[in-house]
Structure 1
Amino acid sequence: MLNTIGVIGLGVMGSNIALNMARKGEQVAVYNYTRDLTDQLVEKLEGQTITPYYEIQEFVQSLKTPRKVFVMVTAGKAIDSVIGSLVPYLEDGDVIMDGGNSHYEDTERRYDELKSKGIGYLGIGISGGEVGALTGPSIMPGGDHDVYEKAAPILTKIAAQVDGDACCTYIGPKGAGHFVKMVHNGIEYADMQLIAEAYTFLRERLQLSVNEIADIFETWNQGELKSYLIEITAEILRKKDEETGLPLIDVILDKTGQKGTGKWTSIQATDNGIPASIITESLFARYLSSLKEERVVADHILAGPESDEQSLDQDLWIEYIRQALYVGKVCAYAQGFTQYKMSSELYDWDLPLQDIALIFRGGCIIRAEFLNSISEAYQAQPNLANLLISPYFAEKVKDYQMGLRKVVCDGVNSGISFPCLSASLTYYDSYRTGISNASLLQAQRDYFGAHTYERRDMPGVFHTNWQ
């Protein structure tokens, strides 16, 4: 019997995707450049319909036509190498799917190259980590729609399921799928940093214990802040270090890594004039965290504000920080979905924003309770300029903005760094300002560079001889 799909790349993600496919009834061929990972997967098999291959030609020839090959290798040159090894054995109408975190521009290049050879190419964003890969991730496929239809029965089957719907939908042409995953990761960066800042306030300003903060996050996860990241934060704070007995969070070095997708999100936004300040601040926060040795030295040299002995009403301020975190998260998602909207118009992708919100509800890292409300906002207003001005979120932010203001102001006065909470407040206030100080900036540009300006009271472009 021929295999229905092949998986190349048997690291944690690839092997779990293969197991997921087999558990959903697919006949899966697997191949890895090095034999060891293939053998490790074979040892895990318990009757699953997975067949290992050790030669690329045999692997390809074992697939039912049109052949479908799912590639799960490191983004970059490794993808090009795999494609190069596959192409000689593929035929017109076969499909290659890249499920890694490839840059969307690389996906578009590969799409063009393979289309000229008659081979379909899908750039597929996958979110959910190793657990999601095994049990059901959020899947974001981009490419030609007719090529997607060939793979859709398998992709929708292995995706996370929410309310009977698969967390997989056709995103758009060429690199749209990987673009949506890229911005998803940018939102994820911001969301994680906002949560870290809320934790910092609870611990440093309210002087709560790690266990008390874990209780708070568990409570928050029962309400409108319910999300995967809030849930795992509570679990993280409960974990004890086996060596010392201390909360594990207290022995983890405060240096954060990143694999590039958040940076790509910020670069794309900057290149195209899209305001993504919260996402970018979360990226810079990671960069600053990497300067651990410098920060330790600066801690003994640079002064902060004098200690404020004033105690805060714990219950009141826990509610303020909850409100602040909610507003910050809404602003971060608003920036991400604005990037989707503006880029969709720029690239003529017609991204389905309401459907993107729905497929984020299950499997993915940024899944959150209010994604239903985000989807409803775009369903009601398909051309909605910004989530902040949708009736639901406008009302929420109106009610909660003072919580954000109080937390940011108190944090600043206490010397606590709030890059994303403060960026959220600045973004909100900037967006709601009908007449801004940009008129002075434009006047300055015209003064020293004759860059011209427009007027409020009449059409046209003007220049003044300022001297």
Structure 2
Amino acid sequence: MQENASRTEGRAQVGVTGLAVMGRNLARNLARNGIRVAVHNRTTAKAEALVEEFGDEGDLTLARSLEDFVAALERPRRIIVMVKAGEGTDAVIDELVPLLDEGDIVADAGNAHFADTIRRHEALAQKGIRFAGVGVSGGEVGALEGPSIMPGCDGDTYAEIGPFLEIISAHVDDEPCCTLVGPDGAGHFVKMVHNGIEYADMQLVAESYDLMRRVLGLDPADIGGVFRGWNDTELESYLVEIAAEVLSHTDAGTGRPFVDVVRDAAEQKGTGRWTVQTALDLGVPVTAIAEATTARALSGGTARREAVREALAGAADADLPSSLTVDDLRDALYAAKVVAYAQGFDMVAAGSEEHGWDVDRADVARIWRDGCIIRARLLGDLADEVEAHPDAASLLATPTFAAAVAERLPALRRVVTAAVAQGVPAPVFSSVLAYVDALRAERLPAALVQGLRDYFGAHTYERVDRDGTFHTPWAGDRVEVDAG
């Protein structure tokens, strides 16, 4: 361990600037894996504390200024930026660029919007500096012990920085949960979709809990036990595992279930909203993600909730018969998870085509098998199905998952019916059922929508019995005309 960067000029293999929890743990992860790391933070005390407390974990070089930080790195320099996304990232890059040489690499491992990553890649390329947008998932524990890593960059850039990222990533069967996703913004795009799926997955787990409590009458500890049992089935996943832990926890101060003392207003940092907005731009329906994002926004509107609750206090509560069982919830949760993942992977395919990224969805599924928040047993099957049926219109059209959803569809329908009958909000379960029913329907009411659009705006329509585009003069003689 050196405190003066000038003594070891050019020694460090990777530099990390930005030492909040994620950056701090990534630096430690690198050092633990035998990589020589230079560390820097705008507030020098954080860098000093890291080296002082964890310097015995590996080769950590303290840099008190950006100049010393850059000088401490071997060439080509490999710099990981871990600061708050947005203006903070731009500010750090602007300070770094004048200190770098052609061929040096800057990797943004924060939660950047993929469009910002594309912009930064193009801007730095003009200066001869290579840029990577690196999606990282796994939270603070994953950052330290092995996250899922989603890099987006050029092939030559990955050849320089990829081996270090693969070393520190989670591994499954000796395979790193890290691969080159695609160029420029591909990595951060895939990370954004990951977070969108995460929103849907968490909301489904929460809705399952709510239905078990409010319809089946189970207490939180019992529900925690149910989740613990489910984690030994096809539902095995990180979120099911930790749901069991949270629901089994008792608040020390009150003796009440922990979940009962937490304010029921969920927060968000924007990635779910980005996913929904981008999906709309791409024309890809991600209803499960959209409803989960909306559910968080609704939960946070506590004043509105209270006002409506008071205004509707006289309304009769729903209390219709329900035959819901725990097994129904287990089957419905699995089916709904599959649909949420399918929607996410549809979006990955659409984004890849839109931007010319050539993202391998099977590889994405594989690097999500461990390290990330949505890691789950089903991702192994998902990778196999995508690889075996690359041209399938949807994950739901592949043999394994078509059979899985078909078998569990009656349970999903019973869950949604019970939720409606008992007045328990289950927006993601409901949206998933509506999505599947819409895909299965031979005819949709969109035909009437097209008729209405043509009536008020002459937007035209197509027919089922012949090719072409047509318009009916609704205010005139209503004799259809060819609008092609």
Deviation of the 1:294 alpha carbon: 2.7
Aligned counterpart for 2:337 among listed residues 311, 318, 329 = 329
Which position in structure 2 is the counterpart of 1:61?
A: 71
Aligned counterpart for 2:156 among listed residues 142, 146, 161 = 146
1:32 aligns with 2:6: no
Aligned counterpart for 2:327 among listed residues 319, 325, 336 = 319
Distance (whole Å) between structure 2 residues aligned to residue 253 and residue 44 of structure 1: 35
Which position in structure 2 is the counterpart of 1:418?
A: 426
Which position in structure 2 is the counterpart of 1:179?
A: 189
Is the Cα contact below 8 Å between 1:190 and 1:282 reproduced in 2?
yes
Distance 1:297 1:394, change over 3 A: same
Which position in structure 2 is the counterpart of 1:453?
A: 461
- Amino acid of the residue matched to residue 25 of structure 1? G
Distance (whole Å) between structure 2 residues aligned to residue 159 and residue 369 of structure 1: 18
Aligned counterpart for 2:23 among listed residues 14, 22, 28 = 14
Aligned counterpart for 1:42 among listed residues 51, 54, 78 = 51
Overall identity of the aligned pairs, in %: 48
| Consecutive unaligned residues in structure 1, runs of 5 or more | none
What SS does the aligned partner of 1:117 have?
Answer: coil
Deviation of the 1:318 alpha carbon: 0.2
Is the Cα contact below 8 Å between 1:305 and 1:415 reproduced in 2?
no
Which range moved further: 196-205 or 143-152? 143-152
Runs of 4+ displaced beyond 2 Å: 296-301, 303-312
- Amino acid of the residue matched to residue 160 of structure 2? K
Is the Cα contact below 8 Å between 2:85 and 2:111 reproduced in 1?
yes
Distance (whole Å) between structure 1 residues aligned to residue 316 and residue 345 of structure 2: 37
Is the Cα contact below 8 Å between 1:172 and 1:349 reproduced in 2?
yes
Is the Cα contact below 8 Å between 2:133 and 2:184 reproduced in 1?
yes
Is the Cα contact below 8 Å between 2:212 and 2:223 reproduced in 1?
yes
Deviations 1:109-166 (A, max 9, x none): 0000100111100000000000000000000000111111110110100000111100
Deviations 1:410-441 (A, max 9, x none): 11111111110000001111112232111111
Aligned counterpart for 2:80 among listed residues 70, 74, 77 = 70
Distance (whole Å) between structure 1 residues aligned to residue 322 and residue 166 of structure 2: 53
Distance (whole Å) between structure 2 residues aligned to residue 166 and residue 208 of structure 1: 40
Which position in structure 2 is the counterpart of 1:399?
A: 407
Distance (whole Å) between structure 1 residues aligned to residue 159 and residue 354 of structure 2: 26
- Amino acid of the residue matched to residue 233 of structure 1? A
Distance (whole Å) between structure 2 residues aligned to residue 281 and residue 398 of structure 1: 22
Deviation of the 1:71 alpha carbon: 0.5
Which position in structure 2 is the counterpart of 1:367?
A: 375
| Consecutive unaligned residues in structure 2, runs of 5 or more | 1-7, 476-484
Distance (whole Å) between structure 1 residues aligned to residue 82 and residue 25 of structure 2: 10
Q: Give the structure-2-normalised TM-score.
A: 0.94
- Amino acid of the residue matched to residue 89 of structure 2? I
- Amino acid of the residue matched to residue 159 of structure 1? S
Q: How does 1:81-92 map to 2 (within 5 A)?
A: 81-92=91-102
What SS does the aligned partner of 2:132 have?
Answer: strand
Q: Give the structure-1-normalised TM-score.
A: 0.97
Deviation of the 1:311 alpha carbon: 7.1
Deviation of the 1:328 alpha carbon: 1.0
- Amino acid of the residue matched to residue 26 of structure 1? I
Number of residues of Structure 1 aligned to a counterpart in Structure 2: 464
- Amino acid of the residue matched to residue 354 of structure 2? L
Q: How does 1:167-206 map to 2 (within 5 A)?
A: 167-206=177-216
Which position in structure 1 is the counterpart of 2:417?
A: 409
Deviation of the 1:36 alpha carbon: 2.3
Deviation of the 1:306 alpha carbon: 3.8
Deviation of the 1:450 alpha carbon: 0.6
Which position in structure 2 is the counterpart of 1:285?
A: 295
Deviation of the 1:383 alpha carbon: 2.1
Distance (whole Å) between structure 2 residues aligned to residue 311 and residue 217 of structure 1: 22
What SS does the aligned partner of 1:300 have?
Answer: helix
Deviation of the 1:200 alpha carbon: 0.3
Deviations 1:183-221 (A, max 9, x none): 100000010001100000000000001111011000000
- Amino acid of the residue matched to residue 412 of structure 2? L
Which range moved further: 61-70 or 342-351? 342-351
